[in-house]
Structure 1
C-alpha cells in the first residue's frame, strides 16, 4: 500500500537499527536490551528545556527474562 511521508529528521542510526520508508513485510529486532533512565532523559529535539526537580528511577527487576528474541536465518 503506497504511503505519503512528511518531513523526516534522522540524527543517527545504530549498527543494529532498521530504517524503513514505504511498504514492508517484516521488521524484527535481532537483539534486545534494557535501559533505565530518570525523568526527562529520553527527550528528543533541537531546543529542549526539562525541569524535573527530584528524580528517582527504580531499577529492581524480579523477572529472569523480559524480551526473548530469536533470529531465524533465511527468512
Structure 2
C-alpha cells in the first residue's frame, strides 16, 4: 500500500533510490497525489529506478498519522 511506503520514506535519508518495480508503481501514485517529489522513469521505459527527492508537507502529515484509509488520503 502506498501509505506504508510513505512511512518507509519518512524514516530514510533523502534522496532515496528505489529499484523494486512494485515500489516504483506506489511512488508514482504518491507523486501524483502530491505526497512526494520524485524523479520517475517514463511509463514506457523499464521500471528499474526511481528517486525520491523530497517528502512534501502533505506526505509528512500522512506518515505521522497512525491509521490512514483511502478516504483520509483523499481528504488531504
TM-score range, shorter chain: under 0.3
Higher helix share: 2
Higher RCO (C-alpha under 8 Å, 6+ residues apart): 2
Higher strand share: 2
> Which structure has the larger Rg over C-alpha atoms?
1
Question: What is the TM-score of this pair, normalised by structure 1?
Answer: 0.25
Question: What is the TM-score of this pair, normalised by structure 2?
Answer: 0.25
